[in-house]
Amino acid sequence: MQRSELEHLIRAAGSIANESEIVIIGSQSILGQFPDAPASLLVSAEADVFPLHRPQLSDLIDGSIGEGSPFHELYGYYAQGVDEKTATLPAGWRQRLVKISNPNTAGVTGLCLEVNDLAISKYVAGRDKDRAFTRELAKHGMIQRDALLNRERETSLPAELRKLVRARIERDFKGSASG
């Protein structure tokens, strides 16, 4: 997904939900902070979204421009309606959201996760695709080890998962001067 495609989804989701602020919490939220992110981080055809003030309208978005919809068939990308509990995020994540608001979003503001918050959600999820995503973030110097360790401490996690998240962070920065 390219930044212009995310802007299109923001505009469409805002129009469908009649909302002026749409939160993007999945991997494609990287496009808020890094509009020209490396191609290796832009492989997803979906953006996980919900209306900030009326998250219950996520199903309406999903049904209108979600996977398998005419929108998806026409454009090759889609919005997946989610809620804020879909991702495990550190305390204070809302205050760090990165705004996308320009003529392409037609008065709708996209609110994307800050990159270290996004990475924490991926470290917690821990699927193969999430681990590949965080490795790429670290490789390109887009996340910082110390910031991630601070955010991990600000995230409500069971002790065993917390250990696993720390190990995943350390693995991505092993042998790296980044921090």
Q: Would you state the pLDDT for residue 132?
A: 96
Q: What is the pLDDT of residue 1?
A: 95
For residue 176, the model assigns a pLDDT of 59
Q: Which helix H or strand E contains 173, and what residues bound it? A: helix 159-173
Residue 68 pLDDT: 97
Supply the pLDDT for residue 118. Answer: 98
Which regions of the chain are under pLDDT 70?
175-179
Q: Residue 84: what pLDDT?
A: 85
Segment 109-137, tens digit of pLDDT: 999 999 999 999 999 999 999 999 999 99
